[in-house]
Structure 1
């Protein structure tokens, strides 16, 4: 479709002769994914709806209790320390961003009065700034007013290196100015095509200055509100037992009329995905269960119970394996897997290439995940214009054996390959979850046929995804040879998602292992392409640069993508929920109600 044709369709939407849904369908027909089609409308100053869930209650409260299961239990409630999705979900109940993402990739205002556009003066023509108008009359849970000072403070808090915020990458290279009490201006160092990152979605939750002002920098972990939040959200904090249960109550001063519908909220953590699914779909003990990483056939059987339903939404999430290029068994300056070391065998690119050939992705999809994932060789899969067409996967044990033979890795008497006294023996780590353990077993069996020995390690999910800097088994520590998990794409644009592949985001002791680059791998070409993409205003050129970053890491076989994940949840039949693949599950929890 030519640019002129697209502009014509946009004009039709503005005039009301073409519906927004019809526009998105026409874009999809020519290969432009729904999230990007929706963003095209935003960029061209077309007004968006304020919600995706039709909210029917005529008053706040009266809905009784809402009970949610997160089988990976939350351990903290500060969103800027939340490296695990479970902690991000829990934090979002109390803290809110200026805007969030709905299931179609639309930007929906929350603490902002409106989404910035060129028409309303929010977006500068040169791409160097965005001005946010804040919603008036919003109060923190302790009654203090929410103002521009809180937004500016959140920037100062997150960008401070000593704070060691997980979100620091979104705030380091910007400047935020207070225009007045209800207006802030975000200034970029260079033209910025994707401006909807700071203060938006998962990374954008605003902290109250009057509560965190004394805890910027080195004292950041000492703030009482890290576990007892005072936010602006629809529910007020009641109690929290980390790793167990979180409770809240309806915020009577919530800034959206007639919301929330439920009187109390309980978020129960722990257990496993199967028991979580059963508690919603079969027993009806809970109203909602998140992230049902359960064999699809099991979910289908549970749905016959009639108490609940499974819902799936597209997302940019990816289940993948990291092959550690550093040495996880040697400590340097108080940390293992230091960038100052090299892995004794995985530093050989031929070994990594062989392991990639030993992953039967098609079987993992067919026999384990079903609706939950699609086999892929690309780290980025959605939206489609950001997916590499170059990356392909193959399952070929014979080819893997040949590569290792030619690279000089010979099988010993025990059947394990070795060279120069070093054996291809690895610890392969993931979280405790039935599909992941079955995936591990499939990969282990194939590796054995190629002379590679895998010791399978499974860690309780609440520990594996914990932000606890003292825990050696967190996924960000990478104190093993290889590990597998899902990482979530927090918005329908992969720029921030791909900062997991830049050198300045490497997880280490200095940043309390909250750097986004868990693999420790870096490549100057990837850094260069990423930086260029951050200022490239031409959409096609920018997409090509981001695809290059993706391809560098995948072709190096440091990152081994397995499945493009759909987000799978379960809800009671009478619970109307708003499940987005581009934000956390609680992004619009204020609008949930019981029918």
Structure 2
């Protein structure tokens, strides 16, 4: 039995190892970080973008997080509750967290269980448009047994109870600061959303949306010797290549995130000797998403790309199974991975590529491109090539708008995929949007990946921790973004399948690890075999840090900045 299996099956957990002793808080001056996708908010509950989750993780914290090895470790909790230590009930219907004593918010007020309960109520408010609702699936309620004891009750037995308020995507916000920011008011609270009061090692001193964040050491942080850095300059924007260069060649920055650039260029930069490229594989998959609703600009804001329970707003072409399958068959993940990622990626046919126990082998035929099969699928479905080679049927052209964020690798992928689709008679218009906007989550913007005002779109996401229950639950019918949820929601595809929904419920109520793995694979296979999306690359989280920066433990199970309190200058 692997370490992960022991943890999931028995509820065991490893304590977080203490970092190296630091001489004095703030002694190492300024830390410079660059994320070429600039955060648009510091509230991860109002954005499904990784950049917002990462930036916020320096300030606001969960009860527990996942380490670089995938182990669950305490953050605001004093210990990890298990059945063995009495923290998880025998019937698996509740978990009781003992909170660390004397933890203060950055404003000097005490952190208590009431803040955790408020966070739960904040995210589950039906008018709030919370982007992270899946982490609270199955929670019946929360109660404070005292100021430092939180009991979470579940509607059914919860075999893996470490979801609500665990991991960087489900941190605790201060009740006092966000008291007037619940429900429909949530996006309107700019001051709180840009400058959250946290318990983490740093606090925001200035937030400029889609640009720069400045932070300073939190004088009320619970470890008096941490963080080693007095200030953080968190620069957003630009592109992945210039971010990599600023660490590996010019030495202007200390840490650069998500270096999605060609492997040859990355290797050449690293050879300059000023920094190191670090890679961690967990659950990230670059994929093309299919829109199952109609994105026609002629439709009004309450109709365009809006899922309807009665199925009355389907995509006029992509609702056809044969079309989706043909588009997938025309793609070659192996070639794309070699071109775009090299050793930092692996071709995949699954949206759930790891941990290994959950990885299906039922879809591996996607690794072999088959243009002839793609053409036959379209022929058989009645799509006939027109005079210009673009297929037509019933007065409709096989023509799509394919969008993604602005990035050299993604634009190269778009161009190659467009050429492959052209070979089978598909016309493709390419569009790229600034990553800061695309992943920003602004409900007023028409250009976010959540709005999905296109036919197809490409990006990567993943999930925190090692259990995929919440992640696989994102494709249930009720998770589709729409105006009533402030365009938040994890089911970006607007795909709805009642059998899948039933499997999600079954998954949440299944205890045995082997049986859970079986259900997770079924859910993955259902998505893959209905061509809800086309997986391309199992991506390693690829970043770089300067040779003068120590303490970094790159982590793809949680925020890459999960242990930033331990970062320091190399001696």
TM-score (norm 2): 0.96
Establish whether residue 337 from structure 1 lines up as the match of residue 311 from structure 2.
Answer: no
Q: Is the 8 A contact 2:206 2:213 kept in 1?
A: yes
Which among 324, 328, 340 is matched to residue 356 of structure 1? 328
Q: CA deviation at 1:333?
A: 5.8
Residues 553-587 of structure 1: per-residue CA shift (max 9 Å, x gap): 11111211111111000000121212211001122
Which among 362, 369, 387 is matched to residue 390 of structure 1? 362
Alpha-carbon distance in 1 for matches of 2:380, 2:196: 58
Larger displacement relative to structure 2 (85-94 or 119-128): 119-128
Establish whether residue 581 from structure 1 lines up as the match of residue 556 from structure 2.
Answer: yes
CA 46–464 in structure 1, closer or farther in 2 if over 3 Å, else same: closer
Alpha-carbon distance in 1 for matches of 2:519, 2:4: 22
Establish whether residue 177 from structure 1 lines up as the match of residue 133 from structure 2.
Answer: no
CA 547–47 in structure 1, closer or farther in 2 if over 3 Å, else same: closer
Q: CA deviation at 1:173?
A: 3.3
Which among 214, 217, 231 is matched to residue 180 of structure 2? 214
CA 69–199 in structure 1, closer or farther in 2 if over 3 Å, else same: same
Which among 68, 73, 95 is matched to residue 38 of structure 2? 73
Q: CA deviation at 1:45?
A: 6.1
Alpha-carbon distance in 2 for matches of 1:146, 1:252: 15
Structure 1 runs, 4 residues or longer, greater than 3 Å off: 41-47
Larger displacement relative to structure 2 (270-279 or 88-97): 88-97
Larger displacement relative to structure 2 (373-382 or 58-67): 58-67
Establish whether residue 225 from structure 1 lines up as the match of residue 192 from structure 2.
Answer: yes
Q: CA deviation at 1:497?
A: 1.3
Q: How does 1:305-324 map to 2 (within 5 A)?
A: 305-324=272-291
Establish whether residue 91 from structure 1 lines up as the match of residue 56 from structure 2.
Answer: yes
Alpha-carbon distance in 2 for matches of 1:516, 1:549: 16
Q: CA deviation at 1:404?
A: 1.1
Alpha-carbon distance in 1 for matches of 2:514, 2:241: 42
Q: CA deviation at 1:185?
A: 0.5
Q: Is the 8 A contact 2:326 2:378 kept in 1?
A: yes
Q: Provide structure 2 residue ranges, at least 5 long, that are not aligned to the other structure.
A: none
Residues 12-44 of structure 1: per-residue CA shift (max 9 Å, x gap): xxxxxxxxxxxxxxx3xxxxxxxxx23514754
Partner of 1:11: none
Residues 501-550 of structure 1: per-residue CA shift (max 9 Å, x gap): 11111111111111110000111111111110001012111211121111
Establish whether residue 365 from structure 1 lines up as the match of residue 332 from structure 2.
Answer: no
Alpha-carbon distance in 2 for matches of 1:159, 1:56: 40
Partner of 2:116: 151
Establish whether residue 404 from structure 1 lines up as the match of residue 378 from structure 2.
Answer: yes
Q: How does 1:373-452 map to 2 (within 5 A)?
A: 373-392=345-364, 393=366, 394-452=368-426
Q: CA deviation at 1:303?
A: 0.3
Alpha-carbon distance in 2 for matches of 1:542, 1:594: 43
Q: CA deviation at 1:411?
A: 0.4
Q: CA deviation at 1:172?
A: 5.1
Q: How does 1:189-208 map to 2 (within 5 A)?
A: 189-208=155-174
Q: CA deviation at 1:332?
A: 4.9
CA 492–239 in structure 1, closer or farther in 2 if over 3 Å, else same: same
- The number of equivalent residue pairs is 560
Q: CA deviation at 1:257?
A: 4.0
Alpha-carbon distance in 1 for matches of 2:529, 2:389: 28
Query: 1:204 aligns to what SS in structure 2?
Result: coil
Q: Is the 8 A contact 1:79 1:91 kept in 2?
A: yes
Partner of 2:515: 541
Larger displacement relative to structure 2 (215-224 or 302-311): 215-224
Alpha-carbon distance in 2 for matches of 1:386, 1:460: 33
